[in-house]
Amino acid sequence: MQQSHFSPALPFTLPCGQTVKNRIVKAAMEENMAGWDLQPDSALYSLYRYWAHGGPGMIITGNVMIDRTAMTGPGGVVMEPDTSLIAFEKWAKVMKSGGAKALMQLNHPGRQMPSQFGRTALAPSAIALKLGRYSKKFARPVAMSCEQIHRVTHQFAMAAKRAKDAGFDGVQIHAAHGYLLSQFLSPLSNQREDEWGGSLQNRARFLINVVCQVRALCGNDFIVSVKLNSADFQRGGFSDDDAVEVVSKLSKLNVDFIELSGGNYESPAMQGTGDMSSALKPEAYFMAFAARIAQHSDVPVMTTGGITQLKTAEQVLEAGYDFVGIASALAFTPDLVKKWQQNPDYAGVKPHCDWQDKTLASLVKMAKVRRQLRRLGNDFTTMHNPTALWSLFLDVIHKRKMMKLYRAYCVEQTSTEKQETHSEQPEKATRYVSSHVVSGVPSRDL
């Protein structure tokens, strides 16, 4: 990469004092590749090893859930207060093995939880997703009590502390893409009339409390990042004016950097589609839309969304951003940064689907990405142009298998907890995969 004033190859020192070797960040993607015990295993180690030695300055995990009863999908990694750290320690070492900083993204789905989990979804208000015929595929939302809000805040903070204990350099708090913290920020999904709703100050209170508790537990030398929508790209939703105000509030909280993205399940702008998508750029979707937000930030800012070329990364830095986030392109070409070093004109690949049904097209794009991730997890080469229908089919099959494993794990955990409750001297059962479960573990669908 060229060594200019706006070169992605230049190092950067964050407010917490940690120095990142370059400005390229592997942004989060949902892998659905956890082991049967909801922890990282060999497949994720293999996948992240490719990225670790592919050249980025920071690597952010796919969203790690803070509660096994609140999942964005089957196969997700979970970090709870009693979770063993052994697998996470190895994961952190793999991510840092090429010199990158390792960040764990922490998330709670809120109402964006699939109905197949058989649970009600915690949300700011009891307002269901509006996805037409797909709406029934998501859990029924219920408005959270103040006690539940405080409990989830503590779960975020404890998960961050556990990530630090496992050797991660920092965490990213997911407050974008329509997940729980993002739902509180949007007046469309948050119609509360208490201290958690109404004005933007009230709607941002949950996020502010989470950030403050994470920093208090993890100390000032730990990277704390927030992923925030530059806008929801929905009329009447979280706007760019709202984002400017929230970024201003976060700038006062010792945050190390803010990643600006956009959209949610109802309007998937993070994939370059959805409502008001005409406002997005062909690459670096949110760069122009969020430029004003970056100008109002006193902390480093990163943007992501559809970046596949070095020249686009340089344009992002020239526009005033400090970091360039890349996601889907690194699923197809995990060593994209190294390829740019050898050939600055090299163009990466991003998923494409031109189906008329926007919701289904969005699912296809995500399925294509996850198919590449599973192939890398099995040490197979990626595919330049996987077919849409077959990728979607494989994704459905994989998720069904992951759901069976999730349910089996939950049954075992419930049984173990009951035994401990009735035991005079409770003793934590060692987690293991019994022979009948091992025989049921699916081969990774490619």
Mean pLDDT of the chain: 87
Q: Looking at 39-43, 150-154, 177-181, 192-196, which range is the least confident one? A: 177-181
Contacts of 199 (CB under 8 A, 6+ apart): none
- Judge contact between 256 and 172, C-beta under 8 A: no
Residues 289 and 279: beta-carbon distance below 8 Å? yes
| Burial track 154-177 (b if 16+ CB lie within 10 A, e otherwise) | bbbbbbbbbbbebbbbbbbbbbbb
Indicate the pLDDT class of residue 151, thresholds 50, 70 and 90.
Answer: very high
More confident residue, 92 or 444: 92
Rounded to the nearest 5°, which phi and psi values hold at 351?
-65, 150
The enclosing H or E element of 250 equals helix 240-250
- Please give the pLDDT value at position 232: 60
Over residues 257-280, mean pLDDT? 59
Tell me: the pLDDT tens digits for 45-78?
999 999 999 999 999 999 999 999 999 999 999 9
Confidence bin at 279 (pLDDT 50/70/90): very low
Classify residue 321 by burial, with Cβ atoms within 10 Å: 0-12, 13-18, 19+: buried
Top-confidence residue, 7 or 325: 325
Question: Model confidence at 5, in pLDDT bands (50, 70, 90)?
Answer: very low
Tens digit of each residue's pLDDT (9 = 90 or more) over 286-319? 666 666 777 777 899 998 878 899 999 998 888 8
CA–CA–CA angle 179, 18, 270 (5° rounding): 25
Question: Could you tell me which of 10, 13, 51, 56 has the C-alpha nearest to residue 314?
Answer: 10
Which pLDDT score is estimated for 266?
Answer: 66
Beta bridge partners of 194: none
Backbone angles phi, psi at 445, to 5 degrees: -75, 125
pLDDT band at 270 (very low <50, low <70, confident <90, very high): very low
CB 138, CB 129: distance < 8 Å: yes
Higher pLDDT, 172 or 421: 172
Share of the chain above pLDDT 90, in %: 68
- What's the confidence (pLDDT) of residue 436? 35
Q: Between 234 and 245, whose confidence is greater?
A: 245
